[in-house]
Amino acid sequence: MIAHATLLALLGTPSPAKIPGSYFGMPEQASTIAGDVDWMYDFITWLCIFFFVVIVGAMVYFVFKYRRRAHVADTGGPTHNTPLEVTWTVIPLILVIAIFYIGLKGYVHITTPPANSYEIEVIGQRWFWTFRYPNGAAETNILHVPVGRPVKLTMESDDVIHAMFIPAFRVKQDVVPGRRTELWFEATREGEFDLFCAEYCGTQHSQMIGKVIVYDEDEFEVVIEELARWIDKVPDEKLHLAGALMYNQCSSCHTLDGSDLIGPSFKETHELFKAAGTRQLIDGTTVAVDDDYLQQSILKPLDQIAKGYPSSMPPGIGTQLGDRKLQALVQFIIRLDEVAPDGNLIEVNRQDIVVEEVEAEEAE
Amino acid sequence: MTTIDVTKPMPPEAGRPAEGTNYLNHTTGIKSWLLTMDHKRIGVMYLVSILTSFFLAGIFGLLIRTELIAPGHTIMDADAYNMMFTLHGAIMVFLVIIPSVPASLGNFVLPIMLGAKDVAFPRLNLFSYYLWVTGAIFAVAAIIFGGVDTGWTLYVPYSTTGTEMNGIIFLSMAVFVLGFSSIFTGLNFIVTIHRLRPPGMTWFKMPLFLWAIYATGIIQVMATPVIGITVLLLIVERAFGIGIFDASLGGDPILFQHFFWFYSHPAVYIMILPGMGIISELISVHSHKHIFGYRFIAFSSVAIALFGFIVWGHHMFVSSQSPLMNVLFSAITFSVSIPSAVKIFNWLATLYKGSISLNTPMLYALSFIFLFTIGGLTGLHLGTLATDIHLHDTYFVVAHFHYVMMGGAIIALIGGIHHWWPKITGRMYSEFWGRIACGLVFVGFNVTFFIQFVMGSKGMPRRYWDYTDKYMIYHVISTVGSYIMALGFFITAAYLIHSLFRGRKAPANPWGGRSLEWQCSSPPPAENFPEPPHVGDCYDFSVLEWDEEEQGYHWRHDIPHPVGEA
């Protein structure tokens, strides 16, 4: 560390974001444990390189030195040597016990969340993550966390097994139906980091990815406060635009341009609504595509499965939205021709559709 | 039993049938193959079937690599990709690697190495071949009727309630039936080794290949029933929802993982131990040097087989298994690395002061040491709890198990095929093209998989159809490597097939092998030996000498030949 600091000082002003990382390809470090994990990773890798060089070096040397010159038998080397056998059994044994021990120490640290951790609930569903904060805020696929404060994720799955994996933090934990699993970390720097699902979960497994955004403590409070309340500050006539902001929760199964994914395209549903049409269901009945149908399809998706589509939408998606967000999604589909005129979403910014409540209350 | 007159020189042709008939031509017609009880013919049928499956699953592998050459949709959609990696894994594991060495080369060589006429239960042997065929038909049915996209690990609840593809039922049936094929083969070999060793061949005079096959047989018989029960439960769970694995019915999805890995980790040793057995033979024969540390290599096979049963939990470090279990499994996992290291060191010591020939089988054996060393050492990163948490389910794991499964088991199989090809077919292949192809496979393999260690440690998760741009360069390199490797395998297929028709006739003992299969003609006669041969030290090469005319080795004239005059 000291040598590294000296080196950085000699080389000029270091970027403050740069932290000494692994020699062997580990990604950027952004949590308190990352440095320890990388140290172990590098230590084991050096050990591997040592043994690899010894083994392959000896092999290449012997092959060269004792290559066959004539069709003769060997030159009479030994056929056994018990002290040698004991040596090359005991030395690796001592080394692996050492590796086990340092791995164990690191592991205990990694799996023991500090008592004062900030708790966030996580729900894994095909194929997105929902993060719920103590103040009622919820967000899809983006995990907002404060820097320098331990964060504990309590995770549940609504369908199959998923796994929360944040490479920059060196943490991973399966999210298993019927169990609550935990994972903790303490971010050491602000910024955006990858978040992956690491347990195969089906068609869109590789799209079940998101971001961790790390803020300083004050900014974090502002962000989750805003997250909890922004939907209440959207006036009714702009709810469809709020729906556009939420569409990323739906996008892995429902397109806007009429093409089919797992579920019917919103464009088709929108056109049926406009034409006051009906939709054929899997049980042979038909249903009118109206306001009520749209609401029920989000809240109880398994009750009315459109013909030709699998019954795979998790019921939890709708029920956790809350009434206002549900209305926003319904309005989004009803007014799809305004928010996605050519199958592509228009650009919507949260600031533009939110009316500050303070002013509204004062006006009353 | 006749005694051998040690004072009388034996002709080199001893044990060779005079009229030139052998196991390939003593009877003809398709029925004489399909209903054969000759272990050699069954071995050849297995070899052809397994290599066909290897070709198919290899094509799937190339399609996977091609899809991944760029992010997003390249040549197939996500569902097709998910099917591809499932089939690649399932076929490679259940139809290729698990049966590969024991059922093909083991079947061919094991009885001859014992000087026996056949395995202990020839009918059971043929039956296990047809069970393999039945399993293969079920696997094909899985592709045709509904497809399967669960990954070869078949994890619940994805495989029970998560996937729409009904081929999972057929694939489970395939795994069940193939399991019995594997059990019967293992059982057959265990009994054969116990009962049919020739006079004089004590346990510690057996070729090490037989020790490896024996240790493998123990695992096959003891572990395989568990996967049979597991896939039956999976089928019942999917069809009727009995709730043993379903959390909402009081079951536990993690229980499935315990069942699955209780078999599938020992299965790793079913795959690698026979390969190690081949390498022990190849290193010794092609160095013309007595194997070093015979007993340590033999016991390390048994140690690996036993330790292999109690490390399965290391596949589940992030599954929500209890931390105490994780710690215990991590500790035991490290213990299994020791016998593997012991083998590597003994092979190196065998090379010391040998007379090393760099022909194709030996190049594969040396490739094995190189690749298996990398595969074994990177296991340390994964056995260590703190580092495994980051590396689990990333490409680091994919690279690791390909170095062990392919760089180990498959490379040993290909090396063994080249080693015993003259014995099996009676023909020599092109040594020149053999070396070229081995070089291409070796280079291609490393380009394909070494970069995946880097990709994995940088966080690229496995089983991803799409990925973020920053991983693209690694995927491109890996894909290019897979094409190089494929070229090597196509050349191999070409010169091996060519050798069947145009190859030089093989001498009885082209490499100077000392074990009994090299003391009968190439190809061997239908009954292997006219009478039980005499057994000596199967790693003492001083009794052989080179015959320029025959381009092979024969028994020195002043030393009695192990196969008595009929």
**Higher confidence at residue A315 or residue B104?**
B104
A362 class by beta-carbon count within 10 Å (0-12 exposed, 13-18 middle, 19+ buried):
exposed
DSSP string, A229-258: HGGGGS-GGGHHHHHHHHGGGTTTT--SSS
pLDDT tens figures, B252-279: 999 999 999 999 999 999 999 999 999 9
pLDDT tens figures, B155-193: 999 999 888 888 999 999 999 999 999 999 999 999 999
pLDDT of residue A8: 38
pLDDT tens figures, A1-20: 344 444 334 333 333 334 46
Confidence bin at A71 (pLDDT 50/70/90) = low
| CA distances from residue B118 to A236, B48, B198 in whole angstroms, order as listed | 85, 20, 12
Structure tokens at B527: 């009954």
Whole-angstrom distance, CA of residue B353 vs CA of residue B57: 41
pLDDT of residue A23: 80
Q: Which of residues 130-159 of B touch A (CB under 8 A)?
A: 149, 151, 155, 157-158
Whole-angstrom distance, CA of residue B397 vs CA of residue A94: 25
Of B157, B290, B373, the CB nearest to A55: B373
pLDDT of residue A312: 75
Whole-angstrom distance, CA of residue B65 vs CA of residue A322: 44
The answer to whether A175 touches A143, Cβ cutoff 8 Å, is no
A154: pLDDT strictly greater than 80: yes
A363: pLDDT strictly greater than 90: no
Confidence bin at B131 (pLDDT 50/70/90) = very high
pLDDT tens figures, A182-222: 999 999 999 999 999 999 999 999 999 999 999 999 999 99
Closest CA to B507 of B422, B385, B383: B422
- Judged by a CB distance cut-off of 8 A, whether residue B290 touches chain A is yes
Domains observed in chain A:
20-69+77-110 (1.10.287.90), 118-230 (2.60.40.420), 234-363 (1.10.760.10)
How many residues in chain A?
364
List of chain A residues whose C-beta atoms are within 8 Å of the C-beta of residue B292: 77-81
Task: Check residue B505 and report its DSSP letter.
Answer: B
Average of per-residue pLDDT across B300-327: 93
| CA distances from residue B212 to B19, B217, B416 in whole angstroms, order as listed | 36, 9, 14
The one-letter amino acid at B368: F
B18: pLDDT strictly greater than 80: no
- Residue A150 pairs with which residues in a beta bridge? A186
The answer to whether A170 touches A33, Cβ cutoff 8 Å, is yes
pLDDT of residue A2: 41
Provide the shortest C-alpha distance from residue A324 to chain B (in Å): 30
Specify the residue for token string 């439960």: B233
Largest CA distance in chain A: 105
Helix/strand number for chain A, H first, E second = 12, 12
Q: Which residues contact A222 (CB under 8 A, 6 or more apart)?
A: none
Confidence bin at A303 (pLDDT 50/70/90) = confident
Structure tokens at A119: 């708790």
Whole-angstrom distance, CA of residue A5 vs CA of residue A10: 9
Task: Check residue B4 and report its DSSP letter.
Answer: P
* B461/A85 CB distance under 8 A: no
Specify the residue for token string 């729906």: A243
Closest CA to A77 of B207, B512, B351: B351
Whole-angstrom distance, CA of residue A351 vs CA of residue A341: 22
- Judged by a CB distance cut-off of 8 A, whether residue B393 touches chain A is yes
The one-letter amino acid at A34: A
Confidence bin at A358 (pLDDT 50/70/90) = low
Confidence bin at A324 (pLDDT 50/70/90) = confident
Of A36, A88, A201, the CB nearest to B158: A201
The CB density around residue A53, as the number of other CB atoms within 10 Å, is: 10
DSSP string, B330-393: HHHHHHHHHHHHHHHHHHHHHHTT--B---HHHHHHHHHHHHHHHHHHHHHHHHSHHHHHHHTT
How many residues in chain B?
566
Q: Which residues contact A134 (CB under 8 A, 6 or more apart)?
A: A118, A119, A120
Of B338, B377, B467, the CB nearest to A89: B338
B253-287 and B360-383 are packed helices; what angle lies between their axes, rounded to 10 degrees? 150
pLDDT of residue A72: 65
Q: Where are the beta strands (DSSP E) in B237-288?
A: none
The CATH topology of domain B38-555 is: Cytochrome C Oxidase; Chain A (1.20.210)
The one-letter amino acid at A339: V
Most A CBs within 10 A among B385, B400, B442, B543, hence the mutation to make, goes to B385
B6: pLDDT strictly greater than 50: no
pLDDT of residue B313: 94
Rg (CA), chain B: 24
Structure tokens at A345: 């979403």
Q: A150-157 and A118-125 as β-strands: parallel, antiparallel, unpaired?
A: parallel
- Tell me how many residue pairs between chain A and chain B have CB atoms under 8 A apart: 288
The answer to whether B317 touches A103, Cβ cutoff 8 Å, is no
* A56/B289 CB distance under 8 A: no
Closest residue of B to A78, CA-based?
B292
Structure tokens at A58: 């000896």
Q: Which of residues 328-387 of B touch A (CB under 8 A)?
A: 330-331, 334-335, 337-338, 341-342, 344-346, 348-349, 351-358, 366, 369-370, 373-374, 377-378, 380-381, 383-387
Whole-angstrom distance, CA of residue B83 vs CA of residue A231: 41
B323-351 and A82-110 are packed helices; what angle lies between their axes, rounded to 10 degrees? 150
SS3 B287: helix
The CB density around residue B276, as the number of other CB atoms within 10 Å, is: 30
A323 class by beta-carbon count within 10 Å (0-12 exposed, 13-18 middle, 19+ buried):
exposed
SS3 A124: strand
pLDDT tens figures, B485-497: 999 999 999 999 9
| CA distances from residue A197 to A32, B20, B393 in whole angstroms, order as listed | 22, 63, 10
SS3 A31: strand
B15: pLDDT strictly greater than 60: no
Closest CA to A248 of A322, A143, A345: A345
**Higher confidence at residue B315 or residue A244?**
B315
Using alpha carbons only, give the angle B519, B525, B529 rounded to the nearest 5 degrees: 55
* B381/A77 CB distance under 8 A: no
pLDDT of residue A20: 61
Least confidently predicted of A341-345, B215-219, B476-480: A341-345
Specify the residue for token string 């592998």: B61
List of chain B residues whose C-beta atoms are within 8 Å of the C-beta of residue A24: 457
* A200/B354 CB distance under 8 A: no
Of B323, B390, B465, the CB nearest to A206: B465
* A71/B512 CB distance under 8 A: yes
- Judged by a CB distance cut-off of 8 A, whether residue B553 touches chain A is yes
B24: pLDDT strictly greater than 60: yes
* A80/B342 CB distance under 8 A: no
pLDDT tens figures, A257-272: 888 888 889 988 998 8
pLDDT of residue A9: 41
Q: Which of residues 489-518 of B touch A (CB under 8 A)?
A: 512
DSSP string, B41-107: HHHHHHHHHHHHHHHHHHHHHHHHHHHTTSSS-SSS-HHHHHHHHHHHHHIIIIIIIHHIIIIIIIH
pLDDT of residue A127: 87
Average pLDDT, chain B: 92
Structure tokens at B338: 């020791």
Closest CA to B364 of B299, B460, B431, B424: B431
Q: Which residues contact B329 (CB under 8 A, 6 or more apart)?
A: B311, B312, B313, B314, B316, B317
Average of per-residue pLDDT across A157-171: 95
Closest residue of B to A312, CA-based?
B162
SS3 A128: strand
* A103/B384 CB distance under 8 A: yes
List of chain B residues whose C-beta atoms are within 8 Å of the C-beta of residue A155: none
Specify the residue for token string 């320098």: A148
Spell out the domain ranges in chain B: 38-555
Whole-angstrom distance, CA of residue B286 vs CA of residue B435: 15
pLDDT tens figures, B356-380: 999 999 999 999 999 999 999 999 9
List of chain B residues whose C-beta atoms are within 8 Å of the C-beta of residue A80: 292-296
Confidence bin at A357 (pLDDT 50/70/90) = low
The answer to whether B391 touches B399, Cβ cutoff 8 Å, is no
pLDDT of residue A227: 86
B309: pLDDT strictly greater than 60: yes
- Judged by a CB distance cut-off of 8 A, whether residue B528 touches chain A is no
List of chain A residues whose C-beta atoms are within 8 Å of the C-beta of residue B458: 25-27, 167
Average pLDDT, chain A: 85
* A196/B459 CB distance under 8 A: yes
Using alpha carbons only, give the angle A29, A30, A34 rounded to the nearest 5 degrees: 55
Provide the shortest C-alpha distance from residue A199 to chain B (in Å): 7
* B459/A167 CB distance under 8 A: yes
